[in-house]
Amino acid sequence: MARKENSRIQKILFPTDFSGASIHAASYALSLAKSYKAKLYVLHIVDTSEEASGFYLPHLSYEKLDKELKESAGEMLEKFCSTRFKGCKNIEKRVLAGEPYKEILKMMKGMDIDLAVMGTLGKAGIDRFFFGSTTERVMRKATCPVFVVPPPR
């Protein structure tokens, strides 16, 4: 991986799944964004991976379901940001659909992100045992440093 010439932190990515781990990590993302006067990109991915396919309702078309999921996620993201990032002016919110770790990596590269801030132990349980956590997958293939926030003790 080529190192950036300018190591100044100007763009921070904060992916959230609205879990307790994300809520805990949000304060770190905000603090870092303020300290570096960086733009904060807050991202939520509507999980369309095979692991999440059991949540889909069979009576809705995929197009309609995708639209409704994104709209609902957008509302959740607005609420999350209005409480967790109150007063943060240099912020951009995005909702994408796909496999979370892949979409995070695409955004890191596509937006030339300087630092990602992620919580651990988001949506865990049996899925994490079989598939690994999103944070672990992102860390392995990240194009920038990843600041991982452990759960509170």
Calculate the alpha carbon distances from 1 to 8, 90, 109, 123, 142 in Å: 17, 28, 12, 29, 9
- Domain 11-149 sits in CATH at 3.40.50.620
CB 42, CB 16: distance < 8 Å: yes
Note the pLDDT of residue 9: 96
Sequence-ordered alpha helix ranges (H) in the chain:
20-36, 62-84, 100-110, 126-131, 134-141
Q: Where are the domains of the chain?
A: 11-149
Q: Give the β-pairing of 91-98 and 39-47.
A: parallel
Q: What is the pLDDT along the chain (153 residues), one digit of tens a residue?
A: 444 555 789 999 999 999 888 999 999 999 999 999 999 999 999 987 655 555 545 555 666 777 888 899 999 999 999 999 988 889 999 999 999 999 999 999 999 999 999 998 645 554 555 445 888 899 999 999 999 998 777
Question: Residue 92 has which token pair?
Answer: 């951009």
Note the pLDDT of residue 152: 78
CA distance linking residue 142 with residue 58, whole number of Å? 35
